[in-house]
Amino acid sequence: MIACFATTVRGLEQLLADELTALGAENINVVNAGLEFSATIDSIMRMNLHSRLASRIMIRLGYSGYRDEDDIYKIAQRIEWDKWFHIGNSIKVSTNAMRCPLKSLDFVTLRVKDAICDYFVDKVDARPNVDKAAPDMRIYVFLDADSATIYLDTSGDTLFKRGYRRLKLEAPIRENLAFGLIKLSGWTPDRPFYDPMCGSGTIVVEAISYGLNIAPGLNRNFAFEKFIGFNADSYQAMRDDAVAAIRQDQKLQIYASDINRTAVEIAKQNFQQIKLDQYVTFSSGDFLTKTAPANNGVLITNPPYGVRLDELDRLAELYPQIGSTLKKQFAGWDCYFFTGDLRLPKLVRLKPSRKIPVYNGAIECRLYEFKMVNGSNR
């Protein structure tokens, strides 16, 4: 078994633990924004292909206490790098820290890079090239107050980059966060699904991919494909199984709209390019004028939440109108609003049945659940 670490969105750690357990993870320890666990190399490949919640899956290669940069250099040089990748693979080293006493993380990064290069010089009298833009191998160093951990990335690009996004609007919600909201809602593919503020369609495409059981990694490559000993036949069999498991005949009732016509057109183009447009009904227009597309279902959306005073004032006017629309038009629906504006429940004048803390990057947000019971606005 291989010691591993998976990163995710803060607030989705337990969901990720459940997901990776089903994909072969053992000895799981949930930590802030991630998981420590053990897995076989086959399970690691399967996790990269199938995980909808992980951001990155890494193998832990070195761990020890340290006092200075030379100690970290020694930790890195003791790792048998040539068991994992070739001299011809380019590398990039990144360092993150928490309560680290050292003055320069850039110098730590340089020392680890030197240790890797010196290791290969000793072995084969050559050193790997550094490529900061598109490296074959990403090495991550994490420092706390007294210990250093060195990881080798297995994913390559972050796993929320599914390979399907062609056109996008500014600051879209990340794909694994979008799916996390869907999972937290408890939505199942037999129920209608609606995002009335869909932007370029991230939440909706995650719902469709989940509903059709499309593995999120099918349209991209991974760093582990360049590892020494990579079993291409075994991985191809996993991909074949994933393709065979797609439920193309699954009946879905998926609806998406936005007040921004440009956003809707971008979403339509995205869905046409990835051949999922047949599974979603698009419309444009103000949510405040919309009627529910079905008698009941699940509504999930990520409404705007401002940072400037004028934006906050406009939202304070908008929220009561959203609450009125929910009460009048969405009786029988389970409605979920993901926002960083913690005034939302009070201003929509509805009492949430759940308030789930989830982060959007560094922003502490909430997923608010409003069950719109027939004949009641509470």
Of 181, 169, 178, nearest to 206 by C-alpha is: 178
Q: What local confidence, expressed as pLDDT, does residue 300 receive? A: 98
Q: DSSP state, 194?
A: E
List the chain domain ranges: 2-153, 175-214+252-371
**Rounded Cα distance, 180 and 45, in Å:** 21
Residue whose structure tokens are 């070195």: 62
Q: DSSP state, 288?
A: G
Q: Which tokens hold the place of 307? A: 């940072």
What is the residue-averaged pLDDT of the chain?
Answer: 94
Q: What local confidence, expressed as pLDDT, does residue 377 receive? A: 46
| Cα angle 222-224-225, degrees, rounded to a multiple of 5 | 75
Query: Mean pLDDT, to the nearest integer, of 11-24?
Result: 98
3-state secondary structure 307-328: CCHHHHHHHHHHHHHHHHHHHH
Q: Which tokens hold the place of 260? A: 């921004």
- Mention every residue, 6+ apart, whose C-beta is less than 8 A from residue 151: 5, 58, 59, 60, 61, 139, 140, 141, 142
Q: Is 108 helix (H, G, I), strand (E, B) or coil?
A: helix
Per DSSP, which regions of 68-225 are E strands? 91-97, 137-143, 147-153, 193-195
Length of the chain: 378
Q: What local confidence, expressed as pLDDT, does residue 378 receive? A: 44
Q: Is 361 helix (H, G, I), strand (E, B) or coil?
A: coil
Q: What local confidence, expressed as pLDDT, does residue 112 receive? A: 98
**Rounded Cα distance, 197 and 73, in Å:** 50
**Rounded Cα distance, 143 and 54, in Å:** 21
* Residue 226 near residue 137, CB atoms below 8 Å: yes
Residue whose structure tokens are 């509504």: 299
Percent of the chain at pLDDT > 70 equals 96
At the topology level, CATH places domain 2-153 in VC0802-like (3.30.2130)
Helical (H) or strand (E) element with 155: none
What tens digit of pLDDT does each residue of 60-78 get?
Answer: 999 999 999 999 999 999 9
Helical (H) or strand (E) element with 16: helix 13-22
Q: What local confidence, expressed as pLDDT, does residue 315 receive? A: 83
Residue whose structure tokens are 């494909």: 225
- Whether 318 shows a pLDDT value over 60: the answer reads yes
Q: What local confidence, expressed as pLDDT, does residue 163 receive? A: 78
Residue whose structure tokens are 């996004």: 165
**Residue range 175-214+252-371, CATH number:** 3.40.50.150
* Residue 114 near residue 139, CB atoms below 8 Å: no
Residue 47 dihedral angles phi and psi, to the nearest 5°: -65, -45
Using pLDDT thresholds of 50, 70 and 90, give the confidence band for residue 304: confident
* Residue 113 near residue 91, CB atoms below 8 Å: yes
Q: What local confidence, expressed as pLDDT, does residue 172 receive? A: 72
What tens digit of pLDDT does each residue of 108-167 get?
Answer: 999 999 999 999 999 999 999 999 999 999 999 999 999 999 999 999 999 999 977 665
Q: Which tokens hold the place of 174? A: 């990340």
Q: DSSP state, 104?
A: -
**Rounded Cα distance, 177 and 363, in Å:** 13
pTM: 0.94
Q: Is 11 left (phi over 0), alpha (psi -120 to 50) or beta?
A: left
- Which range, of 30-39, 169-178, 241-250, 293-302, averages the lowest pLDDT? 169-178
